[in-house]
Amino acid sequence: MAVAVSLEPFRIGMTALMVNRPRPALQLFAFLSGGLAMGLVVGMVVLFALRPALSSAHFTLPRVQIVVGLVVLCTAAVVGSGLVGRPRDPDRGPGFVATHARRLVEGRSLWTAAAVGLGTALPSVDYLAALALIAASGAAAATQFGALLAFNAVAFALIEIPLLCYLVSPDRTRTALASLNAWIRARGRYGVCALMAVVGAVLLAIGLAGL
């Protein structure tokens, strides 16, 4: 699920945008910092602050796996059908909010990059499902925190890797990100949906077997 999160078109598109802004390395770092901050804070609140609410006898790992599997399968079906992310009518101009949001994103401020990172990492269905699995595992707090860190490291891999690559080869990084962004927008949705469908089916099967 972390891989599916990392391949979100908006996240990759924003990464490509940050590379083309002034001071790209700092923009990417601010963007990554905002995203990681949001992801880790939400994760720690769910796993530790809400732990008493998740300690019910009905909150068992097999049941959570079944529910999460069904949710992931439904999400894959909705995204694959095109009901989510349908492109805007090209004959219609951008709305007021979209126009001002675009101006804000294309500015020079590092605070803007961090804010966009925060918004990008707002809890998605995939992330909340992963947190539910971690919480239901019953593992020690340190183990759950390690799983949280690992999930976020993978989910933000397509920001972390470009940041490191940009420090070595800026021009190639810009070109590669532009190509990846175009591919994801054109065909990547179906690959992400297929990955989510496989993950959902596996979780559903494991959960049913564990009842």
Buried b (16+ CB within 10 A) or exposed e, 98-133: eeeeeeebeeeebebbbbbbbebbeebbbbebbbbb
Predicted pLDDT at 32: 92
Neighbours of 171 (CB within 10 A): 8
Residues 128-156 have pLDDT tens digits of: 888 888 887 778 888 999 999 999 999 89
CA distance 203 to 129: 11
CA–CA gap between residue 28 and residue 167 (Å, rounded):
11
Q: What is the pLDDT of residues 60-115, one digit of tens each?
A: 666 766 777 787 778 777 766 665 544 444 444 445 445 555 555 556 778 888 88
Number of domains in the chain: 1
Range of the domain at 60: 2-210
- How high does pLDDT run on average in the chain? 75
Backbone angles phi, psi at 200, to 5 degrees: -60, -45
pLDDT tens sequence across 12-33: 778 887 887 778 888 899 999 9
Global pTM value: 0.68
The rounded percent of the chain whose pLDDT value lies above 70 is 69
